[in-house]
Amino acid sequence: MIRKVLLPILVMSVVASASGQAQRQAGQRLSNETTAIGGLNFCAFMLREFYDKDEKGRTIYVLMEPRQVSESNLYLLFRILSERFNADEDLTIWVDTDVEQLAFLATGTMVTFSPARGVIDDSARGHNKRILQLAYYKRTKAVELFRYNPNYPIAGEKTVIIRGKED
């Protein structure tokens, strides 16, 4: 499954690289190199990595298969990337599982999705909300944690605190 979406990702990375060149400012570094993340027992790709020297922080975007999203797999993924980028004061990692989510990386604008699998019927308000499987990791001096939905496609979120205390 994930290998079938690799070609479109590579194409979107080239497009994002071209559009990202103009948006970059002094003290910022962007890499659109798609690389497999080693040391995992599942397939995950690092799609984009952005470093801001002024903020002394790095943001990384990762793609992995939705059925591989579990607390133990995310913990391993975040540990490996945190060790790889241990010199950064702040580290943020976004994990996407659907190629449609990657449109944000290619265009820099949020994309509205039409209802599909994992949809909450909110027709009383005139719209449906699509539930996407994703995960988020944050490491600062004060806290290290990640969030994900253990009950996907049912809406929900679980926070796993690795170190510190969330405010």
Give tens-digit pLDDT for 71-100.
Answer: 999 999 999 999 999 999 999 999 988 776
Between 114 and 153, name the one with better pLDDT: 153
Strand residue runs (E) in 97-149: 119-120, 129-130, 134-139, 143-148
Q: For 144-149, which contacts have Cβ atoms below 8 Å and span 24 or more sequence positions?
A: 144/82, 146/74, 146/75, 146/78, 146/93, 148/69, 148/71, 148/74, 148/95, 149/69
Between 16 and 156, name the one with better pLDDT: 156
Domain count, the chain: 1
pTM over the 0.75 mark? no
> Domain span at residue 114?
2-164
pLDDT at position 23 is 43
Whether 106 shows a pLDDT value over 90: the answer reads no
